[in-house]
């Protein structure tokens, strides 16, 4: 009998083009995710996410991480080409 794949719990923060592309891609693959952005009507509550995609502006990344420090308990991925942020992985498109 094969192994059961580990279930991922993905959070996408942001609502711009990168966030929209990631949401489209994950939807095509039928991978569930949670989406939150600054103007959301829902609160961003601590949870045990496996991956967090920070699809926000370069200057917003430190603010998001200081507002929600529990995010660093996950694999945090940002898309800034100009910033190195300790505890995160940068993937510049």
Sign of CA dihedral 54, 35, 63, 44: negative
- pTM, entire model: 0.86
Residue 49, token pair as written in the block:
């996410």
pLDDT digits (tens, 9 = 90+) for 25-72: 999 999 999 999 989 888 888 888 999 999 999 999 999 999 999 999
**Are the C-beta atoms of 69 and 58 separated by less than 8 Å?**
no
pLDDT digits (tens, 9 = 90+) for 5-28: 567 899 999 999 999 999 999 999
Report the distance separating Cα 8 and Cα 51, nearest Å.
7
Domain boundary assignment for the chain: 10-90
What band does 82 get if pLDDT is binned at 50, 70 and 90? confident
Does residue 4 surpass a pLDDT of 60?
no
Apex 25 CA angle, 21 and 28, nearest 5: 140
Report the distance separating Cα 69 and Cα 93, nearest Å.
25
């Amino acid at each position: 009998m094969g192994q059961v794949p580990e279930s991922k719990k993905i959070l996408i923060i942001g609502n711009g083009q990168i966030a929209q592309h990631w949401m489209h891609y994950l939807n095509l693959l039928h991978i569930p995710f949670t989406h939150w952005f600054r103007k959301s009507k829902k609160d961003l509550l601590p949870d045990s996410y496996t991956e967090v995609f920070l699809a926000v502006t370069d200057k917003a990344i430190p603010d998001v991480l200081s507002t929600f420090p529990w995010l660093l308990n996950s694999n945090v991925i940002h898309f800034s080409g100009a910033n190195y942020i300790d505890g995160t992985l940068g993937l510049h498109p």
